[in-house]
A and B are shown apart, each in its own frame.
Chain A
């Protein structure tokens, strides 16, 4: 018996030691990420150096992270012009010889790469402020783009500094009923292939338009397929006869293929999971397609592959735990170019490619790169980059809901992932805010992260990660988060994330390919969730569903033109905004969850409207906070008593088009600033010319 007891104690002890070790490793990795945030997001080099130093001292047996931290620390010193950088690079080479990547980076910094001196001769400059969904012509003169003010596809001519519109939407009409998305200009700059969305037909098409003749030669429908939900051209073959495309199918898989520019025939080269390939570029000799894609259908990180255009073979060119994103081919096709975060931040790397095979190991040619979104490489080796900068942040406003007076100036407390934070939700104890951070600088998001900001420490920890998240709500017990979004298979659904570990489990998957507006909410007791489903009766409306968490049993609560769900504190009502399709009047209504007729609390006649994302209950359940808007620019917050009392305006600057979360103290409102992204085109010159010769 005693022996058993000793054994049990030993097992427990071992388990605790193992847990402690695991936690230490996790802590060090989190510390490393925090250091990166300080360096790369906050630009605080001194603070970053201290954090990297802490990582090195705590790394223990994790020599890989210690070496990486030393390299990053050295880079911080180097940016400050401090000679300490050299000493640290030398230390990495001397003390961490088995850490090949860190050593390679350190050597590159000290001596320069044997092929290309890192960063030497590199010139990066901004060349244009505009859309980044197009590509550059071979001579670097023309760039295709979408003019989002009209939805037209156009080309920007760098020689003349002028834009030429190629499609017929009215100027300033906005991208509403029909518009272009991705585009690719031919190598000779004479034609543009582009994605065209036609809202009447509800379909995406692949079209081609002649740049020179413009209006005299109208766009040509090249291809569309009833089984595809989206198609995009990425590159032209050098002879102009083929387009490299990716297409999303209705079964949520993706096809990488070629479309003939002559007859519009489509060849599917390879099918992948939902997230599919990222960028695709023809090799300069036209024999290969290079593309980046997730290594597996459950990972976010991309690797680089090269596929023969005749389908005869595929080469896994860059397979590495880091995120590797295709940037293109060097002039002459001697090297693959890719952005990789293997050194801690995204740098530009090259890998020799010859006779259908990769040669040697990748090497760094520029230590940091402005963007990992390539718009193509010109014949003389200029790499065009698209940057996308967000300006969306979480705002906390303090206001007395009774008087409507602001109690303190609004603040933006979350200082990590600045510019990409949205959809805040206060935790039940009011000590944390969960929010959604868009971590992917590419135009098409590949990953969104749920962050949790601590009021006590001011820090953010990353929680769950999904390809797409658009709503996050704390469970009333504070232990988990309810997410609306998409899983790695592209299925819309409702997910549960553990508030500590971030582990995600699906609650309900709806398999709806393009629907993301479930806006799931908890019942106050945490036993039920409510979510929104589009009605299947063709009415265009939606249905509110109640789901029992324990049994999975569901029932319909209400249907109609319903907006976001807001459950009352007593669990008796759902508040939502509904819009009358004929009069366009919007109403704040209360729907009894247990059944019965809904009642209208507030009705606003067009052109005024109530923001469909708002309708937030006050803590006492006697009123709702709603956004009353007078388009195009006036947005106000009002407190609307449900007993018919007079609504009162809040003295808070509110941007509109965002949900609101009310702190448990009933005074602090959290919401996000308007979702805006600024896109620019940059060019990197002077680093690829030395790659032109055969390796």
Chain B
């Protein structure tokens, strides 16, 4: 674990890169992170003041909500599962379909989306302006009055401090041979070998940050969600979604972009049978022929990815 000084003390858990990609125009500072942390938990950003970012990205649930699909204001059900926010600082793009190129771009969308917080960015800014405390805090953090860009910068700064690592797997990978049980070690071999999970789930974030059509969205002979295609318009992107991180995966059920698989067993069974038949399905999907023992070992390994999640810089 390394304590890094970038305007504030950030503890980078074991297993993650020391270098945090942070945009030059939004340097990480303690004032921004603390402001973003409070905004993240404050219902002031939702239309009816009932929900906050943390409602769907609950720190107690590894920044997910335990639901298949996210639920917004007025009980409106969204179209996709709320993904964890762990280690998004390392992400190349945000959202399941990668439509946001930065966290600054990403964090404002839920405020605008009527199926999520739905207040609208303008309304949210007006509310913050009307708060003497927030006016002061924005001035401290940015040296100017509240505005939409700084709202995005503060929230993005906070999200960048949500870091997960220091798991038994990280300790094993860093030389502590007994950090993994025999069963989990066998599971790691399967993860990287027979099951080929590490083809996409690799590196410190356990994600290649690419988009794959795992055929989950192909149901009843049609695409229920076109995924990445909605961003690129490229035929091969139909039904493709970004590889999610597997860090804290035991705490982030249900799984897949639509939350359609409720347990890790269900996910492993899905991939073991090679997914569903679907057009332009990822070529890497094929029946795996895993035995019951191998599935159990694989799950033991996935549970070893539960470690320490830190947020707010400390």
Which residues of B have CB within 8 Å of A607?
A: none
B279 within 8 A of A: no
Partner-binding segment picked from A6-14, A161-169, A306-314, A388-396: A306-314
Which residues of B have CB within 8 Å of A226?
A: 172-173, 175, 177
Nearest neighbor of B194 in chain A, beta-carbon distance: A536
Partner-binding segment picked from A43-51, A142-150, A263-271, A407-415: A263-271
Contact (Cβ within 8 A) B173 A312: no
Partner of A271, one of B194, B198, B204: B204
Contact (Cβ within 8 A) B19 A269: yes
Contact (Cβ within 8 A) A271 B18: no
B174 within 8 A of A: yes
Partner of A227, one of B22, B172, B196: B172
8 Å CB interface, A243-298 against B? 249-253, 266-271, 273, 297
A552 within 8 A of B: yes
Which residues of A have CB within 8 Å of B17?
A: 268-271, 311
Taking A251-B202, A311-B4 as contacts, is the C-beta distance between A270 and B19 under 8 angstroms? yes
Report B151-184 CB contacts with A as 1/0, cut-off 8 Å.
Answer: 0000000000000000000001111010000000
Contact (Cβ within 8 A) B204 A268: yes
Partner of A252, one of B6, B24, B202, B286: B202
8 Å CB interface, A482-538 against B? 489, 491, 505-506, 509, 511, 536
Give the distance in Å from the alpha carbon of A314 to the alpha carbon of B24 in the complex: 10
Find the residue from A267, A314, A505, A511 having the highest chain B CB count within 10 A: A511
Taking A226-B177, A267-B2, A310-B4 as contacts, is the C-beta distance between A509 and B19 under 8 angstroms? no
Which residues of B have CB within 8 Å of A506?
A: 283
Contact (Cβ within 8 A) B18 A314: no
Which residues of B have CB within 8 Å of A693?
A: none
Which residues of B have CB within 8 Å of A267?
A: 2, 18
Contact (Cβ within 8 A) B199 A268: no
B21 within 8 A of A: yes
Which residues of B have CB within 8 Å of A310?
A: 4, 18
| Closest chain B CB from A533 CB (angstroms) | 12
Which residues of A have CB within 8 Å of B177?
A: 226
Which residues of B have CB within 8 Å of A552?
A: 286
Which residues of B have CB within 8 Å of A21?
A: none
| Closest chain B CB from A313 CB (angstroms) | 8
Find the residue from A253, A267, A268 having the highest chain B CB count within 10 A: A268
Give the distance in Å from the alpha carbon of A511 to the alpha carbon of B283 in the complex: 13
B101 within 8 A of A: no
Nearest neighbor of B189 in chain A, beta-carbon distance: A250
B203 within 8 A of A: yes
Which residues of B have CB within 8 Å of A308?
A: 19
Contact (Cβ within 8 A) B20 A311: yes
Report B208-238 CB contacts with A as 1/0, cut-off 8 Å.
Answer: 1000000000000000000000000000000
A225 within 8 A of B: yes
Nearest neighbor of B196 in chain A, beta-carbon distance: A511
Give the distance in Å from the alpha carbon of A297 to the alpha carbon of B16 in the complex: 19
Give the distance in Å from the alpha carbon of A250 to the alpha carbon of B173 in the complex: 10
Give the distance in Å from the alpha carbon of A491 to the alpha carbon of B200 in the complex: 11
Partner of B18, one of A251, A268, A511: A268
Give the distance in Å from the alpha carbon of A253 to the alpha carbon of B16 in the complex: 13
8 Å CB interface, A132-178 against B? none
B193 within 8 A of A: yes
Report A532-555 CB contacts with B as 1/0, cut-off 8 Å.
Answer: 000010000000000000001000
Which residues of A have CB within 8 Å of B194?
A: 536
Nearest neighbor of A225 in chain B, beta-carbon distance: B175
B192 within 8 A of A: yes
Taking A311-B19, A552-B286 as contacts, is the C-beta distance between A227 and B173 under 8 angstroms? yes
Give the distance in Å from the alpha carbon of A9 to the alpha carbon of B199 in the complex: 46
Give the distance in Å from the alpha carbon of A509 to the alpha carbon of B194 in the complex: 11
Which residues of A have CB within 8 Å of B286?
A: 552
Binding site for B on A (CB under 8 A): 225-227, 249-253, 266-271, 273, 297, 307-308, 310-314, 489, 491, 505-506, 509, 511, 536, 552
22 A-B pairs with C-beta separation under 8 A: A250-B192, A253-B202, A266-B174, A268-B17, A268-B18, A268-B204, A297-B208, A307-B19, A308-B19, A310-B18, A311-B4, A311-B17, A311-B18, A311-B19, A311-B20, A312-B19, A489-B199, A509-B196, A509-B199, A511-B198, A511-B199, A552-B286
Q: Which 10 A-B pairs rank lowest in CB-CB distance, beginning with the nearest?
A: A311-B18, A227-B173, A251-B202, A311-B19, A253-B203, A251-B198, A270-B19, A511-B196, A271-B203, A269-B18
Binding site for A on B (CB under 8 A): 2, 4, 6, 16-22, 24, 172-175, 177, 192-194, 196, 198-199, 202-204, 208, 283-284, 286
A491-B199, A509-B283 known, 15 other contacts, Cβ within 8 Å: A225-B174, A226-B175, A249-B173, A251-B198, A251-B202, A252-B202, A266-B174, A268-B18, A268-B204, A270-B17, A310-B4, A312-B6, A313-B24, A314-B19, A509-B284
